[in-house]
Chain A
Amino acid sequence: MALAIELNGITKRFPGVVANDDIDLSVAAGEIHAICGENGAGKSTLMKILYGMQAPDEGTIKINGEPVELHSPAEAIELGIGMVHQHFMLADQLTVLENVILGAEPMRSLGRIDLEAGRRHLDEVGRAYGLDINSDDLVEALEVGERQRVEIIKVLYRGARILILDEPTAVLVPQEVDELFRNVRELKAAGATILFIDHKLDEVLSIADTITVLRQGRTVGTVKPDDVTAGDLAEMMIGSELPVPDAGASTVTSEVALEVSELTVRDAERPVVDHVSLKVRRGEIVGIAGVEGNGQAEMVSAIMGTRTPDAGTLAMLGRDITGASVRERRQMGLGYVPQDRHREGLLLAGPLWENTALGHQTEAPYSRAGWLSRPGMRARAEHVQADFDVRTPSIDVSAHALSGGNQQKLIVGREMVTEPAVLIANHPTRGIDVGAQAAVWEDIRAARADGLATLLISADLDELIGLSDTIFVMLRGRLVARLDPGTVTPRDLGAYMTGAAVEAGTQ
């Protein structure tokens, strides 16, 4: 079969790392070709090179048999390559139509855009590939799955015949994944070539015609899905079995550490957290599942004290903390792993020892008699570095020099070392590699055995099911279901998260 894409000896170096090291890749026309690998294996860099966003240091690219040099996405688009990015490249305040036609606007005189022609073409593309979307909606109003459809239509509108889908399932619930796979198969039937980046092995095995595995910037091998099992793929990806989250035997006690009662937070008039009540006991991990933007962030802010609730009470260790300041809550033993470690978790330009004290800077040993204690902070930082396996040359390097996984281990270690009574873990393993992920899970598990009460908010359904003692599903600001992780499947969770399933009598 003719080759749509042929990459030979692609090498790309960044300061300090080789992201792609002599990679070869051949993709036949009209197939679905999956690229697998851990975070940091070089998948995204390779795709950026293929899409002209970055230039390779060495190696050659052939598209449909022709050698090419790509300097910008515009040139890749010219060659019929389209990319659906993992982080959506859509402007919220623009309409679907405006987002789609951008860069290939149909024109009238005087530089005006011919919106009618654009709308017609968009509808044609949608019909031809079975993708349904209302072109005049603001992107802001769309669900995640719909946004992804807009992204796909965007590249098809430009006439792309080779589609790169960069971790398209990362943001979707299982039902939306099914829908996406249906669309992808239709695209293939219509003659498109698809490059599918993913690291969820069951998905890869079900959708791909051919799989290429990358590890540490190198090609490990190219296989057919019928010839391998998920275990084989995992071994190719990381050199060993994939770790799975597992909490082990229950350590739940009867002592309530955190009690949220009828918590309500309003944004303007609309309740974004709507009469939420839950209890977290010592030794218990309570998981919160939900599609992002259903009130989880606001609930966390209210519990942490960065946002004043409009109604309801919060109690910690039997004491009412509804009116307590953030610092009072922290000093009482409220630990926090924020969702966005760069914005909320770290001072990226500060040294690790300074970062270790963040959030606890008023407590011993970080400060004494109202003054910060540098020796105290440094000693603690070294302790955290050793005990929580933060891989760094020294505690004097700045936080942005660390990989995402090590940054996260530092944050988790910083919280754990103060022996909190309650931990709010907001997406604790988002965007970190499997090694660090396993370490964070282990830290939470160990603290749970010592009596830590944990509220775990996560988008990783396997993580939620594996770690939690109880799972609540949050939808439109309310807890709509309480589920037993022992019996629930990711598919069930997905149904509750999207409102497809409703549990009777919750709350």
Chain B
Amino acid sequence: MLARLPTWARWMLYAAAGVAVLTIVQGFDDTERLTAVTSSQAMLRWAVPIMLAGLGGLFSERAGVVNIGLEGMLILGTWFGAWGAINYGGWAGLATGMIGGALGGLVHAVATVTFGVDHIISGVAINVTAPGVTRFLSSEIFANYEGGSITQSPGTDGVGRFTFPLLAGGDLFGWESPDILGWFTRQDWFLVSDMTGLARGLVAQVSLATVLAFALVPLSAWVLWRTRFGLRLRICGEHPVGGESQGINIYLYKYYGVMISGGLAGLGGAFIASPELSGLYREGQTTGRGFIGLAALIFGNWRPSGTMAGALLFGYPFGIGLRDLDGSASHALLLVNTLALAAVTVWAVRRRRRFDAGLAAGLGLAAAVWYFMSSTVPNWWIDILPFVIVLLVLVFFSQRLRMPRADGLPYRRGES
């Protein structure tokens, strides 16, 4: 029955079911943070850089180049993004961040495509080099600014905000439209108001940078699957020698793919340095989100919409953790984890995957025991939770995924 619905409707349903679970669960812990509007807004802000890194990975890996260097490109994006924003304003910051990331992509492309360096080695090299480069640049430039130092920049400017008309009452050509979701939220109906509250948080007063980032998801899908550029890029990831035999310049498209990859990661970095998240460049502020972006890409089966879903899923616990000083929301999340693992257990049992079922049941039980034995959880748990989710998702679902066939394989022109 579910399979017959259009994809978007199915995802809406999944999302609604997820919210329903969160609403019920938070009742036990006497917290409203799991479905608070501030939480959904925080999730969105945290998801954006992860998603942009993931989309970056998408362009690179569809072109057959594994990009473990996303983290480094994200770092370059934070520095260049901050520099551009401080000197020329918020929009310029996004543009310079993109350029900075694309430069990192260019280095990766030169190493892997032109010189045939192993993709992982080149990527790790970029991750190691990028912080050094930004430290050097900071000592040369930010250290001379008022309020800057060799490890951080002065505050950055952001871009404007946008409230969607009708849904959240934004202006439409000067007309103040009704705030439909807001009205539902104010009625305080069980479940319905929770959901509309969450949804309104996603469409009211959102940064234009966030809108831009989410617009890139359908745009990426369109470019990759509807245009000649996309077809030629994908052949690089599936069967480069076949593309070569039909006269495609594989090197060129791999360069495009990896540079777009760097550009998108750089945009994600610029977003991190923008007032949406940090409001300045600071060393170490990317905290592994390039890697989580890669995990979102894998979770999304190398597709733009799936990558977005992965980014939102991984972004959610970050968003919760940000304001959860007393640990009650994190405690409630433990019960969510239990339920999710129970669902995975059922799924694995039905597929006769004994090991997976046992593992999921065991972990679920552990989470349940922890939940009932305690009334609050320490801070470190919410800090590592996103990474735990990433790990579990990959453990249980990676076998169902299909990466581009020639992803990560060396390709040399004329050698087949």
A89:B239 contact, CB within 8 angstroms:
yes
Instruction: Kindly supply a per-residue 1/0 record for chain B positions 200-241, scoring 1 wherever the CB is within 8 Å of any chain A CB and 0 otherwise.
Output: 000000000000000000000000001111011011001101
Q: Are B247's CB and A113's CB within 8 A?
A: no
B227 and chain A: residue at smallest CB distance: A111
Chain B, residue nearest A51 (CB): B245
Q: Are A93 and B242 interface neighbours, CB within 8 A?
A: no
A217-B248 Cα distance, complex, nearest whole Å: 30
Residues of A within 8 A of B235 (CB): 91, 94, 102
Q: Is the Cβ of A154 less than 8 Å from the Cβ of B227?
A: no
Contact, CB under 8 Å: A113 / B243: no
Given contacts A98-B231, A111-B227, contact A154 B246 (CB under 8 A): yes
B234 adjacent to A94 (CB under 8 Å)? yes
Q: Is A74 located at the chain interface by the 8 A CB criterion?
A: yes
Which residues of A are found within 8 Å of B241, using beta-carbon distances?
Answer: 89
Given contacts A113-B226, A113-B227, contact A93 B238 (CB under 8 A): yes
The residues in A between 35 and 54 inclusive whose CB is less than 8 angstroms from any CB of B are 51, 53-54
Q: Which residue of B lies closest to A84 (CB)?
A: B245
Nearest-CB residue, chain A, relative to B247: A74
Q: Which residues of B contact A113 (CB under 8 A)?
A: 226-228, 231
Query: Using Cβ atoms and an 8 Å threshold, which residues of chain B touch A107?
Result: 228
B6 proximal to A (CB < 8 A): no
A103 touches B239 (CB 8 A): no
Q: A53-B414, A54-B414, A102-B232 are in contact. Are A89 and B245 (CB under 8 A)?
A: yes
A105 at the interface (CB under 8 A from B): yes
Interface residues of B in 369-416 (CB under 8 A from A): 402, 404-405, 414, 416
CA distance A398 to B229 in the complex (A): 42
Contact B239 A90 (CB under 8 A): yes
Q: Does B179 contact A (CB under 8 A)?
A: no
Q: What residues of A have a CB within 8 angstroms of the CB of B402 in the complex?
A: 93
- What residue in chain B is nearest A157 (Cβ atoms)? B246
B244–A73 touching, CB < 8 Å: yes
Docked pose: A14 CA to B90 CA in angstroms = 57
**A99 vs B232: C-alpha distance when bound (angstroms):** 10
Known contacts A102-B231, A111-B229; decide if A92 and B238 are in contact (CB<8 Å): yes
Say how far B405's CB is from chain A's closest CB, in angstroms. Answer: 7
Minimal Cβ-Cβ distance residue in A for B352: A269
Q: Provide the residues of chain A in CB contact with B351, threshold 8 Å.
A: 268-269
C-alpha spacing A53/B234, complex, angstroms: 21
Contact between A89 and B246, CB atoms less than 8 A apart: yes
| Most-contacted residue by chain B among A83, A89, A112 (CB, 10 A) | A89
Most buried by B among A74, A85, A103, A268: A103
CA distance A468 to B122 in the complex (A): 51
Q: How far is the CA of A74 from the CA of B239 in the complex (A)?
A: 17
A24 to B226 CA separation, bound complex (whole angstroms)? 46
- Chain B contacts for A104, CB-based, 8 A: 246
Interface membership of A72, Cβ < 8 A: yes
A105 touching B238 in the complex, CB below 8 Å, given contacts A53-B245, A53-B414, A85-B245: no
- Residues of A77-99 whose CB lies within 8 A of B: 77, 83, 85, 87-94, 98-99
Q: How far is the CA of A87 from the CA of B402 in the complex (A)?
A: 22
Tell me the smallest distance from the CB of A131 to a CB of chain B, in Å. Answer: 18
Bitwise, A258-274 to B at CB < 8 A (1) or not (0) is 00000000001100000
CA distance A269 to B245 in the complex (A): 37
Secondary structure at the B interface, as helix, strand, loop or mixed, is: helix
Residue contact A73 to B238, C-beta cutoff 8 Å: no
Q: Which residues of A contact B247 (CB under 8 A)?
A: 72-74, 77, 103
> Shortest Cβ distance from A75 into chain B, in angstroms?
8
A110 interface contact, C-beta 8 A:
yes
Give chain B residues whose Cβ lies under 8 Å from the Cβ of A103: 232, 243, 246-248
**With A and B bound together, what is the CA distance between A276 and B129 in angstroms?**
56
- The residues of A that contact B232 with a CB separation of less than 8 Å are 102-103
B-facing residues in A105-130 (Cβ within 8 Å): 105, 107, 110-113
Chain B residues positioned under 8 Å from A105 (CB to CB):
228, 231
Chain B residues contacting A51 (CB-CB under 8 Å) are 245
The docked-state distance in angstroms from the alpha carbon of A312 to that of B242 is: 41
Residues of A within 8 Å of B404, CB to CB, are: 93
Which A160-189 residues have C-beta < 8 A from chain B? none
A357 to B86 Cα, complex, angstroms: 65
- Chain A min CB distance to B390 (Å): 24
Minimum CB–CB distance for A34 against chain B, Å = 22
How far is A51 from B238 in the complex, measured between Cα atoms in Å? 22
A89 CA / B161 CA spacing, docked (Å) = 49
Q: What residues on B are CB-neighbors of A158 within 8 Å? A: 246
The CA of A112 and the CA of B239, in the complex, are separated in Å by 21
B245 neighbours in A (Cβ, 8 Å): 51, 53, 73, 83, 85, 89
> How far, in whole Å, are A98 and B232 apart by their CA atoms in the complex?
10
**B242–A91 contact, CB under 8 A?**
yes
How far apart sit A419 and B242, CA to CA, in the bound complex (Å)?
A: 43
Q: For the complex, what is the distance from the CA of A87 to the CA of B245, rounded to whole Å?
A: 12
Among residues of B, the one whose C-beta sits closest to the C-beta of A76 is: B247
Chain B nearest Cβ from A298, distance in angstroms = 16
Nearest Cβ on chain A to B406's Cβ, whole angstroms: 9
**B331 CB to closest chain A CB, in angstroms?**
38
Chain A residues engaging chain B, CB cutoff 8 angstroms: 51, 53-54, 72-74, 77, 83, 85, 87-94, 98-99, 101-105, 107, 110-113, 154, 158, 268-269
Known: A93-B402, A107-B228. 12 other contacts (CB 8 A): A54-B414, A72-B247, A77-B246, A77-B247, A88-B242, A89-B246, A93-B238, A93-B404, A94-B231, A102-B243, A105-B231, A112-B227
CB<8 Å pairs between A and B, sample of 25 = A54-B414, A73-B245, A73-B246, A85-B245, A88-B242, A89-B245, A89-B246, A91-B234, A92-B405, A93-B402, A94-B234, A98-B231, A101-B231, A102-B232, A102-B243, A104-B246, A107-B228, A110-B227, A111-B227, A111-B228, A112-B226, A112-B228, A113-B227, A113-B228, A269-B351
Among all A-B residue pairs, the 8 with the closest Cβ atoms: A74-B247, A89-B242, A103-B246, A91-B238, A91-B239, A111-B227, A105-B228, A103-B247
